[in-house]
Amino acid sequence: MVLLENDSFLTELTRLFQKCRTSGSVVITLKKYDGRTKPVPRKGHTETFEPADNKCLIRASEGKKKISTVVSTKEVIKFQMGGLAF
């Protein structure tokens, strides 16, 4: 999976939609993302991790091609408005 900047993600997402216009589908998922790169253990050592700002992880996939980006919660609306050009 490729992690892209927001503008690059929107450009690639547009390409995915255009590619699948006649056949196929694009799957988009949104997930709360706190910046961790390792999973939290269920038992044992618990780390106290307080993110300063929660983020939104946005993923898009079409067949084998997968792209993703991370958007700050403060910029989600602005990001969505920028994506209305599809």
**Is residue 44 in a domain?**
no
Q: Can you give the CATH number for the domain in which 73 is found?
A: 3.30.720.10
**Is residue 45 in a domain?**
no
pLDDT tens string 14-35: 999 999 988 889 999 999 887 7
Which pLDDT score is estimated for 27? 95
**Is residue 23 in a domain?**
yes
Query: What are 71's strand-pairing partners?
Result: 56
Domain extent, residue 9, equals 2-35+52-82
pLDDT tens string 67-85: 999 998 788 888 888 765 4
Which are the contacts of 54, defined by CB distance < 8 A and separation ≥ 6?
A: 32, 33, 34, 73
Evaluate whether 58 touches 68 at the Cβ level (below 8 Å).
Answer: yes
Number of separate domains in the chain? 1
**Is residue 76 in a domain?**
yes
Q: For the whole prediction, is pTM greater than 0.95? A: no
Which pLDDT score is estimated for 86? 46
Q: How many CB atoms are located within 10 Å of the residue 52 CB? A: 6
Distance CA 36, CA 53 (A): 12
